[in-house]
Amino acid sequence: MTTIRHVLFDADGVLQEIRGGFYTSARPLLGERAREILDLASERERPLLASDDDFLPVLADVLRHYDVDVQAADLFAAVWQNIATSAASLDLVRGLRDAGYGVHLGTNQVRRRADYMRAALPYDELFDVKLYSCDLGVAKPEAAFFQKAATRIGAEPGAILFIDDHSPNVESARATGMAAVRWRIDEGHDALLGRLAEYRVTPA
């Protein structure tokens, strides 16, 4: 087993969550159609994850499609900007950094949300390398995301352990040579520590 020197963290589901949940947070604005509208919005959002294009006009089109009298900016703020970070996850990142590991962020985000995260969350100070899909021009689970990540980190893929809550992303990372584990916040951090220990990765 190659010695792990770097840990690459996904954001949503691993470091942060939408307060109250993705669909629930939209219900005050969208009512019972929240799930249907957000599912279409997410589908339309996906091509923008690897671009600089603004998501708000796309979101506005979705709202017009459903004839909903809600401003796209208000919905974006109520859902996409309604982020709660996990204190335990951030403490784990700090513990790994204190133990000598490189700690890095690898997340799929449209430009508007990436900019918000940079301004509102502590990730720029916490992580050594910040990898947003809109900057890289490619989104997970594409293999190129992980290949570019390794290049930006400056390490061979086998020296990097990736943590994500979606199986396709984990499988793609493994296919490019990274170690990878699937985990999400609601499993509890003891479960994550156990999975990291299998790769002999332990925080200080």
Distance CA 138, CA 187 (A): 28
82-139 per-position pLDDT tens digit: 999 999 999 999 999 999 999 999 999 999 999 999 999 999 999 999 999 999 999 9
Q: Name the residue among 154, 49, 38 with its Cα closest to residue 107.
A: 49
User: φ and ψ at 12, to 5 degrees?
Assistant: -65, 125
Domains of the chain, each with CATH number or no CATH: 6-17+84-197 (3.40.50.1000), 24-78 (no CATH)
Instruction: State residue 2's pLDDT score.
Output: 78
Q: How far apart are CA 122 and CA 125, in angstroms?
A: 6
- Work out the end-to-end distance of the chain between its first and last CA atoms, rounded to an integer number of angstroms: 21
Query: Averaged over 168-175, what is the pLDDT?
Result: 98
pLDDT tens-digit series, residues 175-202: 999 999 999 999 999 999 999 999 999 9
**Band of residue 1 on the pLDDT scale cut at 50, 70, 90:** low
Residue with tokens 């590991």: 101
Alpha-carbon span 191 to 193, nearest angstrom = 5
Sorting pLDDT into bands at 50, 70 and 90, what band is 41? very high
Instruction: Indicate the pTM of the whole model.
Output: 0.95
pLDDT score at 172: 98
Phi, psi of 142 (to 5 degrees): -60, 135
